[in-house]
Chain A
Amino acid sequence: MLVIPGRGGSFCDGPTRREFLRVGSVGLFGLGLPHFLAMQKAQAASTPDLAAKFAGVRGFGAAKHVVLLFLQGGPSHLDIWDPKPEAPSNVRGEFNPIKTRVPGIQLSETMPLLADQVDKCTLIRSMSYTPKGLFNHTAAIYQMLTGYPPDKVAPSGQLEPPSPADFPTAGSHVSKMLPPDEPVLPFVELTRPLQESSVIGKGGAAGFLGKAYDPYRLYQDPNESINLDDLTLRKEVSEQRLKDRYTLLKGINQSMPELEKAVGQHALGEYYEKAFDLVLSGKARDAFDLDKESDKMRDRYGRTTFGQGALLARRLVEAGTRFVQLNWPAVANGNPEVDAWDTHASNFKPLRNLHCPKLDRALSALLEDMHQRGLLEETLVVAVGEFGRSPRLGVSTSGNTNAPDGRDHWPYCYTAVIAGAGIPGGQLYGASDETGSAPKDKPVHPNDLLATVYFTLGINPEMEVLNHLDQPRELVKGHPVLDLWS
């Protein structure tokens, strides 16, 4: 497999002994030492010192993995994480606050199970930004996951579909800079793509890093059966036979060097290299096997697409996957019977009956389970949407029409849940005003949240990356929220 030293290895001093050993073990794939050194050099040139600025700062490099529960659609912060019982009724809504395990923190009554796990996470109640231009989902998702506002807007008012010039989604950066230590999928995106009407996957691809760093997209329902034929070694093909075949294949490709060059942009060779590694190790496949979990554990996460997706996320992290992104498995289609967070048409009934029970069960189970396994210490868990929802009911903020009990898009103030990686739990960070309309204290821009994710993995968020034109760009224009660790 491709072994590119990330943390641990120093670019200046050459590979460590451990890396040499790893290289040795994959020598049969033709990745000889010269190749390795060349690659290392190339890597060093494109990613200057990852750690320079923040070395020694608390929280820096505290996590090896990230689980991002991306609640696409924009969940209503007031009705879930940030209840406002004192606000007027057209803001407060139908739900009552409940007490949690931690004195001083209240959640909405929609989150009873999470109330018992609040000691393991921190609520950032002052997420906030003002969109530049578009006020729709795709623009906000792109901003949230790439750290850059979208620049290409089609005349229709929607974004252009994903393009190779896009800024990379966070998981792609991470999987490029920190390839996993184990032969597993580096970056997995689960159950369904990011989507707003016909624009699919915007903000969820490797963009200018190249398709090789796209997530492995498992758009299947883990609550049904998962089909992983591709990852299971066939019985008539032994490991040795597959290796022999790969050697043959490389010989054939090398006998047409001009063709290899002509199709180089497709990065087929890199995909094949990864594919072989995945198939041969078997680790990746096992990670997807939810049958290895007890019924009790599966019930604990909830027998829903999102619940089983969260359990899958935990298994993947356990196996060594660097970045797991679980997208909320429903997107807006105007139907209040669908559990999409985009609750223009009806807010309370669906939240109470459809959305929140699934989220509450899955998130609380994930925190508890990962904590019990000691995984939370080395994993950063984030749950957030692309924005919150309008505090006032039935008003239009995005140009959409809203039912009297609907809430519209609201990027000016919302909540993110963050846990693990040594962040002390049971805390509130920042606060919103009386109506949840604006941060009252310590506003956190989505770029700051993204910077925090990179920081936690030991990546300097201010480092430069080269885009497809080899122009230097900041990884993200934001500052890690260092106070989370205090």
Chain B
Amino acid sequence: MNSKSRATCLWVGGLMLAVAVSGVRAGDRSAGAPEEIRELQVQPGGLVFSRPGELRRILVTGISAGGERLDLTETVGIDPQGGIVELGPDSYLRAVREGETRVTVRAGGHSAEIAVRVDASPGSPRTTFLRDVLPIMNKVGCSQGVCHGAAKGKNGFKLSLRGYDAEFDYRSLLYDMSGRRFNRADPPQSLMLAKPTQQVAHGGGLRLDLGSSYYKSILAWIEQEVPFGDPEVDRVVGLEVHPGEIFMHAPGRSQQVVVVARYADGSTRDVTRESHLGSSNGEAVAVEGSGVKGIRTGESTLMVRYEGQFEMVPVTVLDPSPGFVWTALPQYNQIDELVDRKLQRLRIQPSPLADDAEFLRRVSLDLTGRIPEPERIRAFVQDPTETRRKRSRAIDELIRGQAYADYWTLKWGDLLRSNRKFMSYKGMWTFREWLGQSIADNKPYDALVRELLTAKGSTFENPAANFFLSARGATAAMETTTQLFLGVRMVCAQCHDHPFEKWTQNQYFEMAAFFSAIGVRPGFESGEEVVYLKRVDNDLKHPKDGRVVNPQFLVPAGGPSSIPSAADRDRRPALVEWLTSRENPFFARAIVNRVWSYFFHRGIISPVDDIRASNPPVNEALLAALAEDFENHDFDLQHLMRTITNSRVYQTTFRANRWNRHDDRNFSHQIPRRLGAESLADAIALATGVRFELPEMPEDYSAVQVPDPHVGKGGFLDLFGRPQREEPCECERRSDVSLPHALNLVNGPILADAVSAPEGRIATLIQQGKSDSQLVEDLHLSTLSRPPTSQEMQVALAHLKRSGSRAAGAQDLLWALLNSNGFLFNR
């Protein structure tokens, strides 16, 4: 060991001590021996170099007695023996000559060994565009969106964005400008080298250092007469990222990574430096060089990209405060087990159950969009039945009621864009009736989707056919189908292959081809339309080359053996068979995730309609279990909602403790959500006893029952974020809060008129001869859905006494209750 690495070792020794001390402070263990590194681990184990000269990186991890993992990569001493490999920069090993050896790693009095082999290389290494040159071009930035990857290229030279189209880029390089980018007689004089090294003026500045390893690779490639490479050999087919999961026991720690690319021919290469690293949550975890650093307690996903392949690495930064003790709470069903499992690992203590009144309010809002009536609350709170059974019974009652059907008709109407703008007035009503009946009947979800997607005929006679009016045309029908039922956004792929995702432009059109023959023509009645199968002009043409596109499933799993090739045979049953198949990896997951998001402040994947590998779930086990259970219960939506609402996790209070107050993604406590526009309007109506005015609606209609956004347009419902039913996207509904909302509630007509109306709740209570305290109790129950505390009672009674009249005092109280957080939020 040379003197420099010895110094490193000493320094590492010091580090150990510091870690040891902070380990004790940080630990959740009872006081005990200082945390020391017990063991060193080296990854990847067993290095194989394919030829001398190759560089490979190793990671060294110290493991403490308590299981903490500490990245020591940049501080350890590495001792290669026998001259087979040597130490390169940044703890890389460089192969020197053919042979086998062991490399020893030392830190803080511990050591570890790994086996290393260097294979012989037959002749000089083959350099290809695919394997060697394109990654360099991507790495140094040639194909960035702001440079040659721009839609129009840059200064006459165009590359595909981030190199997604290797063949295009190769042709661009070779054949544009009559091949003048290469000087085969004198390769170093090639424009391709002279430009980025700025030997010739280059708008993009210096990108490549003369004589660097990248420079040498490109030079070698030109010398070998610029071979493209063989996709069957040189294409990257996968990445291996070490470590596969990163767990930091405190902010401030770092972790280096190693990225190894696997090629089609089975060979591998260390591509750590050429990979792109990104953190999904920069507030918790930041990317630094070829690694990450914990910024503060939280979670993130590290996305590692290289040549169209990517891998996700979950990163967790724990709260290092002392004193954490896991207190087990009752587990009602599998949801609780799976949520707890992750929480315990993250040292997050979940909150306990909400009390009965809080639970009833929440579950009523979530299942029916309405707050409970005062009598219902009284009865529920006083019911002596054991909590869990009592709540379960309340859930069943809510699901059986008409309010449930009304509310989910609204939600599905939003997603399916039930809107007279697309469907005509009568069609919209017809569609709403059909939806309402389907929900009341608890039609299995797969059957509902099948009826929608295979519908044909008159939109008045077959209401489901209205689906093809709000999603008109093959591409719109496909985009709606994939986004709603698979949670996949295909929109980007219409114009180009997705730069990180696997969806291609071809797939976009192949999926759209399932709908290519769907036509819509006017019916007999005014507003009636007929969905039919076109006999002519029914093929989908690819916009690039005009060829006929044959339908193909997004992923093969679950599809039927054959798809009708002639467009005049209906391809949609095949599509639905694939879509609703249990092998389809998206169908059940997408809907259970969406439904979950209606009962919490977010989905397990968020946003719910942007499911992709680079947007992983916060709890995969939970999502998988829910999806499986949903399939096993024949796509029964009510069963799914029962499962969710009967879990302890759902019934948890919003009140946080010191261990979960920062958690907003692992469902350790409920997070209050502002009431949706329609629920807010109906809750005001219930509390005040004054109907919410709805133009063109029958007297007994509530806001939740409104059939489309044309009713009361521009008014209260729109101000509070009702979806306009223009896009099949959850994002259309808004539940934010801003000044205009506060102004409207403080002084707008909806609330004020209802509070002061002569025939409302207050008038009735006074007429019934209720006492002041009965009045106060009833007003609290009808707004906050709980009785007042004794202090609240005192304050309210004092106010009534002070007021000019009882009615006026009660109005003030009701007004204040309606404007309070306790009313405005579902908590």
Residues of A within 8 A of B (CB): 132-134, 153-157, 211-212, 214, 216-217, 229-234, 236-237, 241, 244-246, 248-249, 251-253, 255-256, 258-263, 266-268, 271-272, 274-276, 278-279, 399, 469
Contact = CB atoms under 8 A, between A and B. Distances in A.
Given A133-B145, A275-B742, A279-B743, A263 B151 contact: no
Contact of B756 (A153, A217, A236, A255): A236
B792 A229 contact: no
A252 B743 contact: no
Contacts of A229: 744, 747-749
Given A211-B736, A259-B672, A266-B674, A156 B746 contact: no
Contacts of A237: 752
Nearest to B786: A256
* 8 tightest Cβ-Cβ pairs between the two chains A and B: A271-B742, A248-B816, A230-B743, A249-B816, A275-B742, A155-B492, A252-B820, A266-B737
Contacts of A274: 739, 742
Contact of A399 (B145, B151, B498): B151
B737 A271 contact: yes
Interface string B797-827: 0010000000010001101110111101101
B794 to A, nearest CB: 10
A250 B243 CA distance: 51
A245 B815 contact: yes
Contacts of A246: 816
A266 B739 CA distance: 11
Given A248-B812, A249-B816, A399-B151, A259 B822 contact: yes
Nearest to B788: A255
A153 B145 contact: yes
Interface string B624-639: 0000000000000000
A311 to B, nearest CB: 22
Contacts of B822: 252-253, 256, 259
B645 to A, nearest CB: 20
Interface string B710-736: 000000000000000000000000001
Contacts of A245: 812, 815-816
A122 B17 CA distance: 67
A216 B495 CA distance: 37
A408 to B, nearest CB: 12
A263 B746 contact: no
26 contacts: A133-B146, A134-B145, A211-B738, A212-B739, A214-B739, A217-B740, A229-B749, A230-B744, A237-B752, A245-B812, A248-B815, A248-B816, A249-B815, A249-B819, A256-B822, A259-B654, A259-B822, A262-B671, A262-B827, A266-B736, A272-B742, A275-B743, A275-B745, A276-B746, A399-B151, A469-B282
Given A262-B654, A263-B825, A233 B747 contact: yes
Given A248-B813, A263-B825, A271 B799 contact: no
B498 A155 contact: yes
A278 B744 CA distance: 12
Nearest to A260: B821
Contacts of B820: 249, 252-253, 256
Given A132-B146, A212-B739, A229-B744, 10 more contacts: A133-B146, A214-B738, A234-B752, A256-B820, A259-B821, A262-B655, A263-B821, A266-B674, A271-B737, A271-B742
A275 B737 contact: no
A216 B283 CA distance: 29
Nearest to A398: B152
Interface of B: 145-146, 151-152, 282-283, 491-492, 495, 498-500, 654-656, 671-672, 674, 736-749, 752, 756, 789, 791-792, 795-796, 799, 808, 812-813, 815-817, 819-822, 824-825, 827
Contacts of A134: 145
A275 B739 contact: yes
Nearest to A153: B145
A229 B751 CA distance: 12
A230 B740 contact: yes
A275 B799 CA distance: 23
B747 A232 contact: yes
A396 to B, nearest CB: 8
Contacts of B152: 399
Given A237-B752, A259-B672, A252 B738 contact: no
B458 to A, nearest CB: 32
A211 B146 CA distance: 31
Most buried by B among A154, A263, A272: A263
Nearest to B674: A266
Contacts of B151: 157, 399
Given A244-B812, A268-B821, A255 B792 contact: yes
A35 B644 CA distance: 43
A393 to B, nearest CB: 19
B417 to A, nearest CB: 15
A275 B674 contact: no
A241 B805 CA distance: 13
B789 A255 contact: yes
Contacts of B743: 230-231, 275, 278-279
Nearest to B813: A248
B656 A262 contact: yes
A180 to B, nearest CB: 14
A1 to B, nearest CB: 13
A246 B655 CA distance: 25
B44 to A, nearest CB: 32
Given A153-B145, A155-B499, A262 B792 contact: no
A469 B283 contact: yes
A325 to B, nearest CB: 15
Contacts of B815: 245, 248-249
Contacts of B674: 266
Contacts of B499: 155
A23 B492 CA distance: 54
A477 to B, nearest CB: 18
Contacts of A276: 746
Contacts of A133: 145-146
B737 A267 contact: yes
Given A230-B744, A248-B799, A263-B825, A216 B737 contact: no
A260 B821 CA distance: 7
Given A241-B812, A259-B821, A268 B655 contact: no
A251 B820 CA distance: 9
A153 B282 CA distance: 17
Contacts of B816: 245-246, 248-249, 251-252
A252 B817 contact: yes
A234 B751 CA distance: 12
With a 10 A CB-CB cut-off, give which of B740, B746, B752, B789 has the most chain A CB atoms: B746
Contacts of B738: 211, 214, 271
A133 B792 CA distance: 58
A210 B136 CA distance: 41
Nearest to B656: A262
A51 B145 CA distance: 40
B788 to A, nearest CB: 9
Contacts of B825: 259, 263
A233 B749 CA distance: 10
B821 A234 contact: no
Contacts of A232: 747
A272 B819 contact: yes
Given A211-B736, A255-B789, A266-B674, A275 B747 contact: yes
B756 to A, nearest CB: 6
B683 to A, nearest CB: 16
Contacts of A212: 739
B740 A216 contact: yes
B796 to A, nearest CB: 8
A216 B749 contact: no
Nearest to B494: A156
Contacts of B654: 258-259, 262
A303 to B, nearest CB: 23
Nearest to A266: B737
Contacts of A249: 815-816, 819-820
